[in-house]
Amino acid sequence: MAEVHIIGQILKAVDFAEPHLYCKWSVQSGNAWRLVQGEVQGQTHVSSHRLENSSDFAQPLDIHLSTAAVQGWPRLLVEVFAVNILQQSWPVGYGFAHIPASPGGHRLEINTWKVAPCGWWESVRERFGGGGAALSKTDLLYSGVERYKLQTRSSGKIIVDLNLIFRKFEDYGVEFK
Amino acid sequence: MKRTGIYRIIGSMADFQLDIKLRHMSEWLPVPKFEYNGANPHAPHSDHYPVISPSPSPRQENGDNGDGQDNWSDCFIYVPYSDEFSYGMQGYYNYYNPGSGYPTSRASIGSNRAASSNSNSSNLSQRNSRKIKGRSRQPGDSTSVFSSQMEQVHEETEEEATGEDEQQELEEEQDQQPQSYRMDELKSNTTPQGANEVFYNLNKELCNGATANLRIGWQQKHFSRSELQRYGDPRNCFTPLQRRYHRWTQDIIELQQRHELAHSQAHEEPLEIRVRRKPRKSKRRRNAQATPTSSLSENAGLSSLPMSQISVQTIEDPNFAARTCLIHTLIDADGEEALPEEAHQLHAEGFQLMYVYAELQADTLLLTLKYSPSLGLLYVYPDFNFSADDLDYMIKINRDNDCSQLYAYGFQNVNPLESEFGSSTAVTTTTTTTTTTSSQQDDNLDVDLELPSDASTGRLIDHHQQQRDWANELRSLLHFELPPKRMRRISLMFELSEAQDFENANIHVRYYIQPPDNTILDSTNVEEPFPLRGATATCLQAGDQRLAHLSHCWQLNLLCEEQHNPEHLLHIYFEVISIDSWQRERCEGYAHYAFSLVTPLPLNPLAIRLQCMRPLGTWLDDMNRYFIGGRKLFDFVGYFNPNNLRLKGGLHNRLNADISQAMRSTGFLMLRLQKLQQRQPAEQQLNELLESDSETAEMGKASTLDEVMAAYTEARDRVELLLGRQ
């Protein structure tokens, strides 16, 4: 069994239109992967910044995975939610990125998008009401079949710092190049 | 001087065997005849010291005189009997010696004592009567012969043990004489003839030169004559032990009866002789003793008769010792009443006892055996390891302890040489047993000491640990999914992150992947049935001057065969399309990227910027594009093929009049690419770095195998060693 150690943190969210944000994160992987220790999903606190258009999370990540194959490489999925005065929250960003495939330190910038309103009334409600639409099935994020029919709108970015340790991959002939 | 024999016995005491051989002194002592004849004139003193020939001392003479007076008074009791004998045979005895009638009364005295040995009151009354009568008869005549008889009686009354020993020795000395006719004639007329006849009657075989052989086991019971009488009567038997003794005594009595029948048949001829002397026969029958008849016949001078008797008796009854109760034993089962006084204390100390007696004239203690089970020691008193042939040696015994008579008699009557052989044999057996036992113990200790040794334990633990590690390694190797043989697995991870600077907004990107030759698609991911093509989501109100976040990721797994050529590249084509609110599609641009599957990617690739372009077209195409929409069929695959470029003569420039090859630049795409390669672990690689890696792996495996083989060899040697010892 080869092992992967993912150690890092979710730094912050930038370039979002809404001020008060929090982030739900999770690590998705294939069938050959198994969690040895750590948490594979979590949720950050609500954060906002008065001067800059950003929200600082500083959520730590510490995951230990073991694998029997290189298929199904793990991916980091982030969902950014906005909170209004009425304590209502709605998603304002979806994004995911592959975990880097080489050891060492990495900084990831995950571009996020959100579901676009369909008509005039939805856009008015989104602006004055309780927020926009959300995906009912999150598997659409992974499959690429006819995804162009899904209309999205660009959102901000999530910046993540990761440090990766790979173990016993050389024994099975795996090379990171 | 002499010490008792102490032997250490390892094993069962029940296997103990004691061989006793009892002979007459005349058959054993190497004393010359002439010396023995010289002792004859000192007969009265030789009674006290039969083995020694010292000169008489004044004190002894004085003591003898005093004893003589007392003994004389005891002899007076049987005057009436002497009157009878003198009346019946006065002529015969008066012719040689008028006092020869007393031996007969002596014999009767012995029988009376034996009969009344169990009652003390009768003994006391007899003694009182003897003293009273003795005083009245003191003025009677006294000769040297009478004085000797008195001395014997006196010793018998005062110290039974000492008296018994002296009498026994005296009898033995006299028994030796019948072998020579001259001595027989002289002794036949002396007074001790009666005692001789009594002993002879009871031990004919012993006196005639036979040896009493008897083998005694540990705690084995042999009866004495008194015990034979006691247990022969069923009325005296109450306890189970006594009943058992009764059954055993019946066997001995039966043997005696058989012997008597044989004896009576053998004595048919003497009956004829007896006819001539009927008056004597009738009187001796009253005494229930037939021995005097045979002795008289011998005295008559018939030499052939005793020889025939001796030969017949010896052949008929070689085991006469058991029949005549010559040797008997006292064991712990008899109870402390029958055993000597010291037995009580010895039993308290935890000893097992056995006393061996020889009943000659009286019970003589031959051997005392003490065995301590806890200590495993056997004590033998006295010790017969030394020879008793040397007479001076016995003198030393007399000086060391007070049991001089007992020891002297013991050495004379038991053959030390033969018993020594027996004891030595027993000792040898014991030593052999001890040696065997000790050797067995040593073997056991050796085996026990080696098994739990620390070194072997550590070695065994290491061996098992190595085995477990090897098994884990094998399991681990088999568990990880390896590519098929002679193949290489390539895992590609694409990420399309951004798009910008296109004419129209609402863009999405479609991609097409063309793998090179000799590659197989590893379709293990069910989520993506068509991994070679796909599309991103449409990004509204973005793509023009506003940045469009596509954030589309997908993974592609390929298997490269052995014939794969690194020069063949993997091509990926991108097509950017915009759809406006009226559902009109317009082609915004085409992009292309190619790379090798085997060649490493550049280090730390942040992102790859792909410039998009589309064909220029004519003014008519522009009008259709603006008002109607749609897209012209453009062979972007053929356009990006280098071979086609060479065939058509290169790129288009503005001087060329043909507008069909003109292209227009549009926006850009940001692509991020990651790659993983997996080869066979033991496969040889072309690169030097790969070769070193493989060599390292092979060396590691070789060392592991060497360790396993070494552990196996050590374990095998150890097992062989253990099996060989067992």
For B:591-650, CB contacts with A below 8 A are: 600-601
Distance from C-alpha of B184 to C-alpha of B40, rounded to nearest angstrom: 13
What integer is the mean pLDDT of A128-133?
74
Residues forming beta bridges with residue B331, ordered by sequence position: B354
Q: Which residue of A has its CA nearest to B511?
A: A144
Distance from C-alpha of B219 to C-alpha of A39, rounded to nearest angstrom: 89
* Bridging pattern class, strands B538-540 and A151-167: parallel
For residue B489, the chain A residues in CB contact (below 8 A) are 70
Evaluate if residue B313 carries a pLDDT over 90. no
Domain boundaries, chain B: 5-27+195-264+317-411, 487-683
- pLDDT confidence band for B336 (50 / 70 / 90): low
Residue A90: the pLDDT is 86
Evaluate if residue B549 carries a pLDDT over 60. yes
Range ranked top by mean pLDDT from A98-102, B359-363, B624-628, B707-711: A98-102
Q: Which of B522, B600, B679 sits opposite A173 (nearest CB)?
A: B679
ipTM for the complex?
0.89
Evaluate if residue B403 carries a pLDDT over 50. no
Distance from C-alpha of B701 to C-alpha of A67, rounded to nearest angstrom: 23
Selected residue with higher pLDDT from B415 and B607: B607
Distance from C-alpha of A91 to C-alpha of A132, rounded to nearest angstrom: 7
B547: nearest Cα among B644, B683, B675, B667: B667
Is any Cβ of chain A less than 8 angstroms from the Cβ of B699?
A: no
Selected residue with higher pLDDT from A12 and B717: A12
Q: Residue B100: exposed, middle, or buried by beta-carbon count in 10 A (0-12, 13-18, 19+)?
A: buried
Buried residues in A45-81 as b, exposed as e (16+ CB within 10 A): eebeeeeeebbbbebebebbbbbbbbbbbbbbbbbbb
Residue B720: the pLDDT is 76
What integer is the mean pLDDT of B341-355?
71
A43: left (phi over 0), alpha (psi -120 to 50) or beta: beta
Backbone angles phi, psi at B487, to 5 degrees: -135, 165
Backbone angles phi, psi at B217, to 5 degrees: -90, 175
What integer is the mean pLDDT of B116-137?
38
* Bridging pattern class, strands A75-83 and A89-98: antiparallel
Selected residue with higher pLDDT from A176 and B147: A176
Share of chain B above pLDDT 70, in %: 34
* CATH number belonging to domain A2-172: 2.60.40.150
- The minimum CA-CA distance between A175 and chain B, rounded to whole Å, is 5
B414 DSSP 8-state letter: B
What integer is the mean pLDDT of B145-161?
37
Helices (H) and strands (E) in chain B, counts: 27, 17
Q: Do A173 and B528 touch (CB under 8 A)?
A: no
Is any Cβ of chain A less than 8 angstroms from the Cβ of B556?
A: no
Is any Cβ of chain A less than 8 angstroms from the Cβ of B497?
A: yes
- Out of A67-71, B219-223, B408-412, B615-619, pick the least confident: B408-412
Residue A117: the pLDDT is 82
B506 DSSP 8-state letter: S
B451 DSSP 8-state letter: T
Residue B323: the pLDDT is 64
For residue A73, the chain B residues in CB contact (below 8 A) are 491, 493, 555, 676
Residue B357: the pLDDT is 72
Distance from C-alpha of A17 to C-alpha of B38, rounded to nearest angstrom: 157
Distance from C-alpha of B146 to C-alpha of B151, rounded to nearest angstrom: 9
Q: Which residues contact B690 (CB under 8 A, 6 or more apart)?
A: none
Residues forming beta bridges with residue B363, ordered by sequence position: B359
Distance from C-alpha of B715 to C-alpha of B726, rounded to nearest angstrom: 17
- pLDDT confidence band for A159 (50 / 70 / 90): very high
For residue A71, the chain B residues in CB contact (below 8 A) are 481, 491, 522, 524-525, 555, 557
Distance from C-alpha of B340 to C-alpha of B356, rounded to nearest angstrom: 12
For B:522-551, CB contacts with A below 8 A are: 522, 524-525, 527-530, 534-542, 546-551
Residue A145: the pLDDT is 59
For residue B679, the chain A residues in CB contact (below 8 A) are 173, 175
Q: How far is CA B343 from the centre of its chain?
A: 35
Distance from C-alpha of B289 to C-alpha of B199, rounded to nearest angstrom: 12
B713 DSSP 8-state letter: H
Q: Do A173 and B482 touch (CB under 8 A)?
A: yes
Evaluate if residue B40 carries a pLDDT over 60. no
pLDDT in tens, B625-677: 888 888 767 878 887 877 666 555 666 666 767 667 688 788 989 897 888 88
- The minimum CA-CA distance between B587 and chain A, rounded to whole Å, is 14
Q: Do A102 and B674 touch (CB under 8 A)?
A: yes
A47 DSSP 8-state letter: B
Which pair of tokens denotes residue A176? 């990171």
Q: Do A175 and B493 touch (CB under 8 A)?
A: no
pLDDT in tens, B668-702: 898 978 888 887 775 433 343 444 445 555 555 56
| Torsion of Cα atoms, B222 then B224 then B230 then B233, to 10° | 60
CB atoms within 10 A of CB B222: 20
Evaluate if residue B437 carries a pLDDT over 80. no
Q: Do B551 and A110 touch (CB under 8 A)?
A: yes
pLDDT in tens, B174-204: 333 333 333 333 333 333 445 555 555 666 5
What is chain B's mean pLDDT, rounded?
58
Evaluate if residue B499 carries a pLDDT over 70. yes
Selected residue with higher pLDDT from B279 and B569: B569
Evaluate if residue B589 carries a pLDDT over 70. yes
Selected residue with higher pLDDT from B84 and B509: B509
Residues B134/B52, Cβ–Cβ less than 8 Å = no
- pLDDT confidence band for A23 (50 / 70 / 90): very high
Give residue B117's identity as a one-letter amino acid code. S
SS3 call for B467:
helix
- pLDDT confidence band for B157 (50 / 70 / 90): very low
Element (H, E) at A107: strand A104-115
What integer is the mean pLDDT of A121-146?
70
- The minimum CA-CA distance between A113 and chain B, rounded to whole Å, is 6
pLDDT in tens, B466-475: 766 757 655 5
| Torsion of Cα atoms, A8 then A14 then A19 then A25, to 10° | -40
Residue with tokens 């169990």: B118
Assigned superfamily of B487-683: C2 domain (2.60.40.150)
Which pair of tokens denotes residue B124? 């006391």
Which pair of tokens denotes residue B38? 């010289």
Q: Which residue of B has its CA nearest to A169?
A: B678
Residue B153: the pLDDT is 38
Distance from C-alpha of A57 to C-alpha of A45, rounded to nearest angstrom: 7
Give residue B177's identity as a one-letter amino acid code. Q
Give residue B366's identity as a one-letter amino acid code. L
- pLDDT confidence band for B367 (50 / 70 / 90): low
What integer is the mean pLDDT of B456-483?
65
Evaluate if residue B591 carries a pLDDT over 90. yes
Residues B167/B148, Cβ–Cβ less than 8 Å = no
Distance from C-alpha of B359 to C-alpha of B228, rounded to nearest angstrom: 13
What integer is the mean pLDDT of A16-44?
86
Selected residue with higher pLDDT from B545 and B284: B545
Separation in Å, CA B282 to CA B21, B89, B93, B302, B305: 39, 13, 18, 22, 22
Q: Which residue of B has its CA nearest to A33?
A: B480
Residue A162: the pLDDT is 92
- Out of A51-55, B231-235, B597-601, pick the least confident: B231-235
Evaluate if residue A12 carries a pLDDT over 70. yes
Backbone angles phi, psi at B696, to 5 degrees: -60, -45
Separation in Å, CA B225 to CA A63, A143, B210, B338: 107, 123, 20, 14
Buried residues in B579-594 as b, exposed as e (16+ CB within 10 A): beeeeeebbbbbbbbe
Share of chain A above pLDDT 70, in %: 92
What integer is the mean pLDDT of B56-77?
40
What integer is the mean pLDDT of B138-146?
38
Give every strand in the sheet of B377-381, ordered side by side: B5-8, B377-381, B363-372, B352-359, B327-331
For residue B539, the chain A residues in CB contact (below 8 A) are 113, 152-154
Residue A87: the pLDDT is 78
Selected residue with higher pLDDT from B362 and B170: B362
Test mutation, A107, A113, A169, chain B, max B CBs within 10 A: A113
Distance from C-alpha of B534 to C-alpha of B528, rounded to nearest angstrom: 9
